[in-house]
Amino acid sequence: MYGRKICYVTEVDLDEIGGAITNDMKMIRCLRKLGDVDTIHFQRRRCRSMMVALFLYAIQILRSISKPYAVYFSRGLVSSFLVMVCKPFFNAKVVHQALSVPLASKEVAYLVHDRFESFIRYYIFSFLERIVLPHVDVITVADDSYAKELVEIGVEKGKIKTIPFYVENEFFKQPIKRGGKVFKICYVGRFHVYHDLSILIEAFELASRSLGNIQLVLVGDGPLRPEVDKEIRQRGLVGKVEMMGIFPHVLVPSLLSQMDSFVYLIHKSGLSTSLLEAAAAGKAIITLRRKGDSILSRYFKHGKDIYMVNTSSASEIAKAFELLYEDSQLRDTMARGARSVAERHFSEDITLSKLQQLMDSF
């Protein structure tokens, strides 16, 4: 098994830094424990245009036919389409990684595009989903609950395998923080519309009026960065909100160890790697209870392992900040509970075991 050659194909530019890149690198590290891994990735930064990058990307995939790969792991709908076009010319299996986004077409609504581009993307993705996904050998999802959407578009249930996200061991090694001069609330992730960063900043402003030494730390970047900077200035929070920009992932465990609480408010469904990393690091997590999405509730219990606010109300979120600020015992209980959940369900050993079972099935 360990001599098998694996090709990892992804639409993400691995030369950059960010959440999707982090997930890809984690998967590549696991696969390298099971075989020899080559990578093909979209290289938008090195090309003058998107079309040139796409052309070169397709050429790389076409050239891979000459190599004796046993398995192609494909991240992204376009990637899987290009690999499947080449499939008649090789004997390898094709594994499409849906992770926590079973259907890319449903994600278009959360992306920052004009109406025309969103319309085009939606119908292209919908078309590709129906001609590609039912024909790959395996589709991996981050949780069993994502299988339903895939079955609805014609994917055989037996083709869908669960490979959970995992958190590196370094996060579990961080000490659980107890007390300190400044109560630090942290967000780590992209700055997108669906992350409700504006509400987060408003909630922090409300909480800071009644609490003593309190600080909000924002780690990441994205399309909404200018708006976030502007709101911080307008609310007079420049000294109380620290913007750390894009942070090397290897340094995130030590960063989280300095935080008292982690907040992640998001409307779209799915498991967040950032949230799972905060759980493993032993943070008291505040998140949004999403209607129609029970995935988090399957793992984390409100008030024991995590704190869920019911609405995107700045005042309700501010009350959650105040509660954790004042109740150190609750904060410690939630921190320990969150870490316990991460240990049971999201360790590297669990993911590696699932991947090994998948490879053995081939």
pLDDT tens readout for residues 65-123:
999 999 999 999 999 999 999 999 999 999 999 988 889 888 776 665 677 888 888 89
CA dist 204 and 188 (Å) reads: 16
98 in Cβ contact with 74 (< 8 Å): no
Are the CB atoms for 258 and 177 separated by under 8 Å?
A: yes
Looking at the chain, the domain(s) classified CATH 3.40.50.2000 span 5-166+347-361, 169-345
Give the distance from CA 266 to its chain's centroid: 12
The pLDDT tens digits along the chain (362 residues) read 457 899 999 998 876 655 568 889 999 999 999 999 999 999 877 777 888 989 999 999 999 999 999 999 999 999 999 999 999 999 999 999 998 888 988 877 666 567 788 888 889 999 999 999 999 999 999 999 899 999 999 999 999 999 999 999 999 999 999 878 899 999 998 888 777 899 999 999 999 998 889 999 999 988 889 999 999 999 999 989 999 988 888 999 999 999 999 999 987 777 789 999 999 999 999 999 877 667 888 999 999 999 999 988 999 999 999 999 999 999 999 999 999 999 999 999 999 999 999 999 98
Helix, strand or coil, per DSSP, at residue 317: helix
201 burial type by CB count under 10 A (0-12 exposed, 13-18 middle, 19+ buried) = buried
Inter-residue contact 321 to 210 (CB < 8 Å): no
Bridge partner list, 45:
none
CA 328-329-330 angle, 5° bins: 90
Second CATH level (architecture) for the domain 5-166+347-361? 3-Layer(aba) Sandwich (3.40)
* CATH for the 169-345 domain, from 3.40.50.2000, 1.20.1250.20, 3.40.50.300, 3.50.50.60: 3.40.50.2000
The CA-atom distances, in angstroms, between 313 and each of 19, 194, 205, 233, 285 are 26, 14, 13, 21, 17
Name the residue among 221, 231, 245 with its Cα closest to residue 200: 231
Q: Are 348 and 28 in contact (CB under 8 A)?
A: no
Amino acid found at 125: F
Three-class SS state of 304: coil
Q: What is the pLDDT of residues 298-319, one digit of tens each?
A: 999 999 999 999 988 999 999 9
Q: Is the dihedral of CA 143, 146, 150, 156 positive or negative?
A: positive
Distances (CA, A) of 104 to 2, 75, 125, 203, 205: 32, 11, 6, 31, 35
Asked whether 110 and 268 are in contact (CB, 8 A), the reply is yes
